[in-house]
Structure 1
Amino acid sequence: MPDLPKTQKAAVKVGEGSDSKTEVRDIDVPSPGPGQILVKINYSGLCASDKSLLHDEWAAGGLAMQPQTHGIAGHEGAGIVVAVADDVKDLWKEGDRAGIKWIASVCRKCEFCTNGVDECHCPKQLNSGFSIAGTFQEYALTDGRYATRLPDGVKDEEAGPLMCGGVTAYVACKRSAVRPGQWIVLPGAGGGLGHLAVQYAKAMGMRVIAVDGGEEKEKLCRKLGAEEFIDFTQTKDVVAEVMRITTYGAHGVIVTAATKQGYETAPSMLRPGGTMVCVGLPKDSSVIAGAPPLLMCLKKLNVVGSVVGTLKDVEDCLDFTARGLVHPSLTMGTLEDLDRFCADMNAGKLAGRACLKVAA
């Protein structure tokens, strides 16, 4: 790698718990090992999961950043391939555009990898920013056999947030089983995941009821295609309002808001046979997804979980953007803005998705 610098900038986790911060430090630029490519990260999205990992919100449940990350989070990277291991030169060349995802690598041998539909549950998967160093650095390594090739028509700053936020919202819409012309409710619709779910649901023909708080979130949701908006700060009974709009309840609810109230109220918004999709991951481990058995049985409700998506799902979700149907609403910053964006996210002040310009 004669043309590459020896060192790079990276945002590194310092401290523990809610007081954790990130410091931008100089670290070495790594070299690809077998099967790997090195990607110059032009942009990286900031996911709520990054905030949770940086602040140890899931540590009690056994999900804490592992030592081999070297304190570098991030899993929504997009940029240029600058070095390629010999054994994946049939797949990549220098100058190709590549995306790095939450799932950075899978074993390609287990039942989940070989069934053709669900490698997301590979027990040997590696995860960017959790079990390997993530994308909050100028140069990141990833598995050349699982990186995503970025299509023409999708800018790097849009592709980054789609690597997790986009595919998660897209797959959740599919998991809802809501058909064109049917109602879907999106609590947290103005957030990083929610505003993408509004667009995918709209593009898939669903009728969208967005739920969030404040004029800024309402303006964003309506602009992106929400047919109805319920401001939970102004509406005393959100469930009653959903029933007024839909008559019998919504066909689906995607809970992107990681709150106890979001999970408690979602089942009551559904009509008989409706589906609740669990996506947001609360830091409060006492939050339970579901409903009282009486409600579950009498309304024949479905409660399903959803997590990111397969390699093919990522390609499909990128295609929506290439065709001009879905565009992340971005708040732009740099690695130095990481802590401020996390604080804004905690306070519910971050509309859309934060995106960091990483490489100079």
Structure 2
Amino acid sequence: MANNELPKMMRAHVLEQYNTPYQVRELPVPTIENPNDILIRVDAASYCHTDAVLASGKMRPPPLPHIGCHEFAGTVVCLATQPPAHGLKVGDRVAVPGRGNHVCGRCLECQNPSGPMPDEPGYSIYCPNAGGGLGVGSKPGGFREYAIVDSRQVAIIPAGMTAVEAAPLMCAGLTIFAALMKCELKPGQRIGIMGCGGGLGHLGLQFATKMGLKTTGVDVVSQALTLARSLETGAAIIDASSKSPEEVKQEMGKEDGREHPSEMGLDAVIILPESQKSFDYGMQLLKNGGLLVLVSFPPEGFHVSADDIVFRRTRVVGSLIGSNKAMREMFEFCIKNNVKAKTRTYPFSKLNQLVEDYHSGFGGKLVLDMTIEE
């Protein structure tokens, strides 16, 4: 599409003050200034817990006014006037994670990418010079009708997958997929997911069980537990308010034929809630030598017992999000194994209603669907 065929103005949801509703504003359609960039028409924009935290001003507050959303999908409508577009063309449907925008390609991280399934040298999602991702820093995200994105950070949406299905995978899906990869478990080993009925958790249940892992999901919120059980993944779903970790470990021990408490429990556990109780519960579910993968990051941090680290030999590692390579493998896995987020969709104008529903405790993922008639 030529520039002269694009509209001059667009609608955007703008956060003008913390802890206040988004405001719909008319803004100019952004123009391409970097040869790596492309312009997309946003087709779906998914709401993440981080959006809620940022809107409250509690985590790395971005300068205001701010356009949020770091998991979205759209259609390429314009390319830079000079290469590179990295193989993309107008009309391609792309999924956009917030991370990896305008990496430098020269730093130690870019030259030696890290994380599960790292990319080839020259590009890293953890580049310290990128200056923050789309929608989670100073750069605007996907709560708008058109967006400029880095052609190096996107992935082609597979045939048969809608934009609404793809958008939640760009943070929730990719984050939990990368965390599972970091566990390095083999089929038949045990994994636990604390916060199994949330956006990341319910996708994690599907990924883990389809990977052949013996999966235990833990939650305390009734709506989240209902969602987790409705997936019918075969995972054991535990209400932590009614069953202690010792009881859960004993059941695992009986199933596995283990008699000593040190040999009972999970090989790895992923912590999603920002709760010390959740952290402690997950840690207690681990067998000796088990791995705790930390995805959440409350401002006050977590207390870790030296006894667990020294005497039980448990390991604690962090996990943020997946690489482009992991993103492509995740898409292939989703298509092959029919992994999908449970979504509730809203027209573009109803973002504030979406936010209210999110805070009311709806499980799964809430998504703006630009194709819904308003």
Q: Does 1:263 align with 2:271?
A: no
- Normalised by the length of structure 1, the TM-score is 0.90
1:266–1:215: structure 2 CA closer, same or farther, 3 Å change rule?
closer
Query: Within 5 A, what are the aligned runs for 1:232-271?
Result: 232-233=240-241, 235-237=242-244, 239-247=245-253, 248-271=264-287
| Number of equivalent positions | 346
* Secondary structure of 2:22's aligned partner: strand
Q: Deviations over 1:127-152 (max 9, x none)?
A: 01123110011100011222222222
* Secondary structure of 1:312's aligned partner: helix
Distance apart, 1:236 and its partner CA:
4.9
Distance apart, 1:351 and its partner CA:
0.8
* Secondary structure of 1:134's aligned partner: coil
RMSD, matched Cα: 1.9
1:72–1:53: structure 2 CA closer, same or farther, 3 Å change rule?
same
Q: d(CA) in 1 for partners of 2:331 and 2:198? A: 19
Q: Is the 8 A contact 1:198 1:226 kept in 2?
A: no
Distance apart, 1:325 and its partner CA:
3.0
Query: Within 5 A, what are the aligned runs for 1:155-166?
Result: 155-166=162-173
Query: Within 5 A, what are the aligned runs for 1:52-67?
Result: 52-58=53-59, 63-66=60-63
- In the other structure, the counterpart of 1:228 is 236
* Residue range with higher mean Cα deviation, 154-163 or 257-266: 257-266
Q: d(CA) in 2 for partners of 1:244 and 1:341? A: 41
Q: d(CA) in 2 for partners of 1:226 and 1:188? A: 17
Unmatched segments (≥5 aa) in structure 1: none
Query: Within 5 A, what are the aligned runs for 1:205-354?
Result: 205-214=212-221, 216-222=223-229, 223-233=231-241, 235-237=242-244, 239-247=245-253, 248-282=264-298, 285-288=299-302, 291-347=304-360, 349-354=361-366
Distance apart, 1:294 and its partner CA:
1.5
1:15–1:66: structure 2 CA closer, same or farther, 3 Å change rule?
closer
Distance apart, 1:214 and its partner CA:
5.0
Structure 1 residue identity aligned to 2:277: Q
Structure 1 residue identity aligned to 2:53: S
Distance apart, 1:220 and its partner CA:
2.6
2:133 to 118, 127, 141: 127
Q: Deviations over 1:302-357 (max 9, x none)?
A: 1010001111111111112222431111111134433343344344x121111111
* Secondary structure of 2:160's aligned partner: coil
Q: d(CA) in 2 for partners of 1:327 and 1:224? A: 13
- In the other structure, the counterpart of 2:192 is 185
Q: Is the 8 A contact 1:44 1:355 kept in 2?
A: yes
- Normalised by the length of structure 2, the TM-score is 0.87
Query: Within 5 A, what are the aligned runs for 1:26-175?
Result: 26-34=26-34, 35-58=36-59, 63-66=60-63, 70-85=65-80, 86-89=82-85, 91-103=87-99, 104-116=101-113, 117=118, 119-125=124-130, 126-129=132-135, 130-175=137-182
